[in-house]
Structure 1
Amino acid sequence: MLHLQSRLIKSLSISSSPAASTIQEIATACPKGLAKVVLKKGKAQLFKDGSPMVYSGAVDRIIGRPPPKTGDVVLVADGTEKPIGWGLYNSVSMFSVRLMQLEEEAASDPSCTLNVEKMIETRIHTARELRKNLGLPSASTNAYRLVNSEGDRLSGLIIDVFGDLAVVASSAAWVEKYKAEIEDCVRGIEEINHVKWRPSVDILKEEGIDVSELKETSPSTCPERTKVKENGIFYTISLEGQKTGFYADQRENRHFISTISEGQKVLDLCCYSGGFSLNALRGGAINVTGIDSSLPALELAKENVVLNSMDPERISFLKADATAFMKDALSRNESWDIVILDPPKLAPRKKVLQTASGMYRNLNSLAMQLTRKGGFLMTCSCSGAMTQSGMFLQILQGAASMAKKKITVLRPAGAACDHPIDPSYPEGAYLSNILLRVL
Structure 2
Amino acid sequence: MMMNLQNLHSRAVRLTSLCFSASSAPLTLQDVASPHPKGIAKVVLKKGKTQLFKDGNPMVYSGAVDRIIGRPPPKTGDVVVVADGMEKCIGWGVYNSVSMFCVRLMQLEDEVSGDRSCAFNVEKLLEKRIEASVELRRNLGMPSVSTNAYRLINSEGDRLSGLVVDIFGDVAVIASSAAWVEKYKLEIESCTRKVYGVNHVIWRPSFEILKEEGLDVSELKDVQPSSRLERTKVVENGIAYAISLDGQKTGFYADQRENRCFISTISHGKRVLDLCCYSGGFSLNAAKGAALEVTGVDTSLPALELARENVGLNRLDPDKITFLRKDITEFMKDAVSRNETWDIVILDPPKLAPSRKVLKSAMGMYRNLNSLAMRVTKRGGLLMTCSCSGAMTQSGMFPRIIQGAASSAGRRATILRQAGAACDHPIDPAYPEGEYLSNVLLRVS
TM-score by length of 1: 0.97
- Alignment counterpart, residue 278 of structure 2, candidates 264, 268, 272: 272
Counterpart Cα distance in 2 of 1:254 and 1:201: 30
Instruction: Compute the displacement of 1:351 (Å).
Output: 1.1
Query: Deviations for 1:418-438, whole angstroms, at most 9, x for unmatched residues?
Result: 000011111100000000001
Identical-residue share of aligned pairs (%): 72
Q: Partner residue of 1:149?
A: 155
Q: Partner residue of 2:172?
A: 166
Give the secondary-structure state (helix, strand or coil) at the position aligned to 1:228: strand
Question: Contact 2:19 / 2:31 at 8 angstroms: preserved in 1?
Answer: no
C-alpha spacing 1:275/1:54, structure 2 compared with 1 (3 Å)? same
Query: Deviations for 1:342-366, whole angstroms, at most 9, x for unmatched residues?
Result: 0000000111111100100000001
Q: Partner residue of 2:424?
A: 418
Please list, as runs of the form range in 1=range in 2, the aligned pairs for 1:18-417 lying within 5 A after superposition. Answer: 18=25, 21-27=27-33, 32-214=38-220, 222-417=228-423
Counterpart Cα distance in 1 of 2:21 and 2:97: 38
Number of residue equivalences = 438
Query: Deviations for 1:244-285, whole angstroms, at most 9, x for unmatched residues?
Result: 000000000000000000000000000000000000000000
C-alpha spacing 1:41/1:320, structure 2 compared with 1 (3 Å)? same
The CA RMSD over aligned residues, in Å, is: 1.7
Give the secondary-structure state (helix, strand or coil) at the position aligned to 2:319: helix
Higher mean displacement: 184-193 or 284-293: 184-193
Higher mean displacement: 27-36 or 143-152: 27-36
Question: Contact 2:15 / 2:37 at 8 angstroms: preserved in 1?
Answer: no
Query: Deviations for 1:99-130, whole angstroms, at most 9, x for unmatched residues?
Result: 00001110111110100000011111101100
Instruction: Compute the displacement of 1:2 (Å).
Output: 4.3
Instruction: Compute the displacement of 1:17 (Å).
Output: 4.4
C-alpha spacing 1:95/1:76, structure 2 compared with 1 (3 Å)? same
Counterpart Cα distance in 2 of 1:251 and 1:359: 25
- Alignment counterpart, residue 15 of structure 1, candidates 19, 22, 30: 22
Instruction: Compute the displacement of 1:391 (Å).
Output: 0.1
Q: Partner residue of 2:3?
A: none
Counterpart Cα distance in 1 of 2:19 and 2:413: 62
Give the secondary-structure state (helix, strand or coil) at the position aligned to 2:392: helix
Question: Contact 1:293 / 1:320 at 8 angstroms: preserved in 2?
Answer: yes
Counterpart Cα distance in 2 of 1:30 and 1:302: 60
TM-score by length of 2: 0.95
Name structure 1 gaps, 5 residues minimum: none
Instruction: Compute the displacement of 1:7 (Å).
Output: 5.9
Instruction: Compute the displacement of 1:33 (Å).
Output: 3.4
Name structure 2 gaps, 5 residues minimum: 1-7
Question: Contact 1:136 / 1:142 at 8 angstroms: preserved in 2?
Answer: yes
Counterpart Cα distance in 1 of 2:11 and 2:96: 26
C-alpha spacing 1:29/1:179, structure 2 compared with 1 (3 Å)? farther
Instruction: Compute the displacement of 1:11 (Å).
Output: 7.6
Query: Deviations for 1:157-198, whole angstroms, at most 9, x for unmatched residues?
Result: 000000000000000000000000000000111210000000
Question: Contact 1:165 / 1:192 at 8 angstroms: preserved in 2?
Answer: yes
Question: Contact 1:37 / 1:61 at 8 angstroms: preserved in 2?
Answer: yes
C-alpha spacing 1:392/1:146, structure 2 compared with 1 (3 Å)? same
Counterpart Cα distance in 2 of 1:151 and 1:158: 10
Counterpart Cα distance in 2 of 1:30 and 1:272: 52
Question: Contact 1:173 / 1:209 at 8 angstroms: preserved in 2?
Answer: yes
Instruction: Compute the displacement of 1:81 (Å).
Output: 0.7
